[in-house]
Structure 1
Amino acid sequence: MKLLDTLHRWTGGLIGLVLALMGLSGTILLYEHLWIGLPGTGDPLRGDLPTVAATTEKLMATPGAQGIIYADERFGLLQLRFGKEAGAYASQSGEIVTRWASQWERPEIWIFDFHHHLFAGDSGEWVIGIAGLAGIFFVITGAILWWRTRKTFQLRLWPKRMSRPSIVWHHRDIGIIAAPLLLISVVTGTMMIFRPFALGVVAPFGPMAETAKALDPPKFKGGPLADKPDYTAMLAEARRRFPDAEFRILSLPRGPGDPISLRMKQPSEWLPNGRTSIAFDAATGEVLAARDALALPSGAQAFNMAFPIHASKVGGLTWRILLTISGLAMTMLGSFAVWTFWFRRPKPAKRPLKKAALASI
């Protein structure tokens, strides 16, 4: 048990700050649709084909446009993508509301980048993934260590004093209360970073090889991008194939021969941007393939539920409040763990002089 306690303290001291920042940034992102504050964010969704098609044709004619994230019921603006960091918000009638050349001009974008990549791309994802695995270790070992002292449990939202014993006591008791929510947040977050870990989590729902194959994006080979793609015809064909689905993301080819991709969300899908997709030949607009997310293997469908649970895209206000509690608890637990480990460590006890040493003086 002493070894477990030592491992818990050392990993908390080393990784706690990352987890605290993940908890804080994640909590802020839960409410981004409320604080962006641009005109049109609260507009009702207009998902009819004529409106969406006209807006798409207008926005994709903008020089440098690479794709569109369509409005939804929570956020009434479309996001137009121009390149690595540049973009714009537009109304559902196709009027540009605001533009930016760098992510630093939009707080919701750089906070999202920090939460997912630590501003370091793939390397940052690895750090977050390792911190997520450490977070799972914290929850499990913390529950084991708490069991020894369960009779002294006291629920306090804040430590009684800012001394090390009081903080450790508070850390232990508030941690056991938040443990179930923390476990859900950390597991679902880590699933989106480490595919082998995710496959292990959803293994009870179906064979791992089948799930992995279903999650791999299909590869197609088409012609070069046409000068004026017929987006209206593509959207009409997509609506014919999936009449109840919402248009979510339109993306131009990333490289030569890649298709134009359209993602859609069917009513039964939890993922906010859906996994139902259609690939169009960039030269002719013909359908190369269509994927029905509801026909995917059970393991893949279970994996697609991780992000909606993690980001409170399902469950309404109740689940968002619970995730807020989880995020704030992670922020508090992580920051206090670092504080007590590095700045409030107990002073080593002075060793008494041996009698022999005293006799020789």
Structure 2
Amino acid sequence: MKLIDTLHRWTGGLIGLLLALLGLSGALLVHKNAWTLAPHAGDPRVEDVRQLAEVTQRLMADPAMRPQSITYASDDFGLLKLLFDNGRGAYADQQGAVVMRWSSQWERPELWLFDFHHHLFSGETGDWVIGIAALCGLFFVLTGFILWWRTRRTFEWRLWPARMSRPAIVRHHRDLGIIVAPLLLLSLVTGAVLVFRPMAALLFGPGAPAQIDKALAPPPPRNAGLAGRLDWAGMIMTAKARFPDAEVRSLSLPRKKGGLVTLRMRRPQEWLPNGRTTLWFAADSGMLVAARDASTLPTAVKGYNLLYPLHAAKVGGLPFRLLMTLSGLALTLLGSLTVWTFWFRRPARPARPRQIAIRT
């Protein structure tokens, strides 16, 4: 038990601040669409596919001004997000008129906050650090329950320590941790599996990671460059004809030498904000190459696709967003107070009794 307590304290002291920052940024991102300030952000989503097709054709027609991707308006955010190279981007209304531009993500708090929470501003390296932090968080929850069990008879409901003394903070830490443990487990497990896909085997069975990789892989790359003129409107209409009940969510240019334009859609039964129903079009001709219906994916893959909506509170409406906000804020409080008590409020060592030499 002493070893568990030591590992729990030292690991918390070393990584608690990172978990606190991830919890706070996550709590803010849950409500990102509500606090992102831009003209027409509150407009209702346009469902007319012909208007979407015309706007897409207009935005993508000029190769010199063509965005690398378009994310279409959703039910809670009424703007198109256009991303260009070198971090540039813009918001446009649903008629295609640009209402706001930026030359770097640092000009938009919703963008750099998202980058911090998902990548620590460090790309794949940041992903790994966040994944390790999530695993440490799971270790804290499990060992915290073991350590709390010994003192369960002193449990009290407190949102804040009774005093800012180390014993009071430690007691509050244990009691608050046990209250929010289910929410923390949800946040940490989903976050860890999203970073470390092999961990999906723990949730969906031993063969799940390979099954997920295979099911979500794009078609083989094509040796085709992006044509100067394509029937972008025709791609939207083709996709809508293929999946009439699906919502058009995003359009992306080929990555590197893939030779495929990717169009993602969201069917009614999907929880993912941008869906996994996907169509690929040849970059040189605009012809449909392949299509994937998310409703036909294997059960393990469907389960994996539920993780991000649960982690980011993209389902369940306001009540679930508030629960995940509580999870993030609790992680912030637990992590920050852990670091403070470990490094700055450590108990003073008792003074050794002075020895008096007796002369004989």
- Partner of residue 185, structure 1: 187
Q: 1:60–1:67: 8 Å Cα contact kept in structure 2?
A: no
2-structure distance, mates of 1:103, 1:45? 25
- Partner of residue 328, structure 2: 327
Task: Supply the AA of the counterpart residue of 1:271.
Answer: L
CA RMSD in angstroms, aligned pairs only: 1.6
Matches within 5 A, 1:159-170: 159-170=161-172
Matches within 5 A, 1:1-361: 1-61=1-61, 63-203=65-205, 207-352=208-353, 358-359=357-358
Cα distance change, pair 346–192 in 1 and its aligned pair in 2 (3 A): same
2-structure distance, mates of 1:56, 1:271? 22
Measured after TM superposition, the shift of residue 64 of structure 1 is 4.1
2-structure distance, mates of 1:79, 1:125? 24
Cα distance change, pair 130–360 in 1 and its aligned pair in 2 (3 A): farther
Look up the SS of the partner of 2:195 in the other structure: coil
Measured after TM superposition, the shift of residue 212 of structure 1 is 3.3
1-structure distance, mates of 2:246, 2:345? 55
Cα distance change, pair 212–67 in 1 and its aligned pair in 2 (3 A): closer
Cα distance change, pair 217–14 in 1 and its aligned pair in 2 (3 A): farther
2-structure distance, mates of 1:210, 1:225? 31
Task: Supply the AA of the counterpart residue of 1:342.
Answer: W
Cα distance change, pair 351–89 in 1 and its aligned pair in 2 (3 A): same
Task: Supply the AA of the counterpart residue of 1:273.
Answer: N
2-structure distance, mates of 1:77, 1:64? 17
Q: Structure 1: any 5+ residue segments left out of the alignment?
A: none
1-structure distance, mates of 2:61, 2:359? 93
Task: Supply the AA of the counterpart residue of 1:188.
Answer: T
1-structure distance, mates of 2:223, 2:291? 15
Q: 2:200–2:209: 8 Å Cα contact kept in structure 1?
A: no
2-structure distance, mates of 1:207, 1:226? 38
Greater shift in the superposed pair: 280-289 or 252-261:
252-261
2-structure distance, mates of 1:350, 1:202? 55
Q: 2:280–2:288: 8 Å Cα contact kept in structure 1?
A: yes
1-structure distance, mates of 2:304, 2:221? 24
2-structure distance, mates of 1:359, 1:228? 101
1-structure distance, mates of 2:41, 2:174? 41
2-structure distance, mates of 1:114, 1:360? 68
Look up the SS of the partner of 2:70 in the other structure: strand
Q: 2:200–2:208: 8 Å Cα contact kept in structure 1?
A: no
Look up the SS of the partner of 1:347 in the other structure: coil
Look up the SS of the partner of 1:97 in the other structure: strand
2-structure distance, mates of 1:210, 1:304? 13
1-structure distance, mates of 2:278, 2:104? 29
TM-score, normalization by structure 2: 0.96
Greater shift in the superposed pair: 223-232 or 72-81:
223-232
1-structure distance, mates of 2:61, 2:143? 55
Task: Supply the AA of the counterpart residue of 1:191.
Answer: V
Task: Supply the AA of the counterpart residue of 2:23.
Answer: G
Cα distance change, pair 25–257 in 1 and its aligned pair in 2 (3 A): closer
Look up the SS of the partner of 2:87 in the other structure: coil
Look up the SS of the partner of 1:192 in the other structure: helix
Identity in percent: 57
Aligned pair count reads: 358
Measured after TM superposition, the shift of residue 353 of structure 1 is 5.7
Cα distance change, pair 162–257 in 1 and its aligned pair in 2 (3 A): closer
Look up the SS of the partner of 1:243 in the other structure: coil
For 1:258-277, what per-residue CA distance to the aligned partner results, in whole angstroms no more than 9, with x for missing partners? 20110110000000000110
